[in-house]
């Protein structure tokens, strides 16, 4: 067992309790430090990142993008819509990633 940990809960002096009950859910992580987060097991850190990402994705209008990036994305979308058969399928991409052939393209 890890110092400062009780079961699947993290306790630190002066900090709120951070528990990771069944199925990796996270409850009450107020006032927890980065150092404490970095001591969590990898699966619990991954779950925390997923929760943070989901909270960001829930409000896409809050993510500001530059005019240059917006123009680039619109150009890429227009190019795709003009020729949707160009490029690679997801199966082709996965295959090229697995066999390393993407490095020679």
> How far apart are the C-alpha atoms of 18 and 32, rounded to whole Å?
7
- Extents of the domains making up the chain: 5-60, 64-104
DSSP state at residue 32: -
Please state, as a whole number, how many other Cβ atoms lie within 10 Å of the Cβ of residue 57: 9
Among residues 54, 47, 2, the alpha carbon closest in space to that of 21 is found at 47
Contact 29, 16 (CB under 8 A): yes
Q: Which of 83, 14, 74, 20 is nearest to 48 (CA)?
A: 20
The tokens for 93 are 């991409």
Residues 11-49: tens digit of each pLDDT:
444 434 455 444 444 555 566 788 888 888 999 889 889
pTM over 0.75: no
């Amino acid at each position: 067992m890890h110092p400062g940990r009780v079961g699947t809960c993290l306790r630190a002096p002066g900090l709120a309790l951070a528990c990771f009950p069944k199925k990796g859910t996270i409850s009450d992580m107020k006032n927890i430090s980065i150092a404490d987060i970095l001591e969590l097991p990898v699966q619990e850190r991954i779950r925390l990142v997923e929760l943070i990402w989901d909270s960001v994705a829930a409000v896409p209008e809050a993510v500001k993008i530059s005019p240059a990036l917006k123009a680039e994305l619109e150009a890429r979308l227009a190019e795709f819509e003009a020729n949707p058969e160009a490029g690679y399928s997801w199966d082709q991409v996965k295959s090229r990633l697995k066999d390393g052939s993407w490095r020679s393209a």
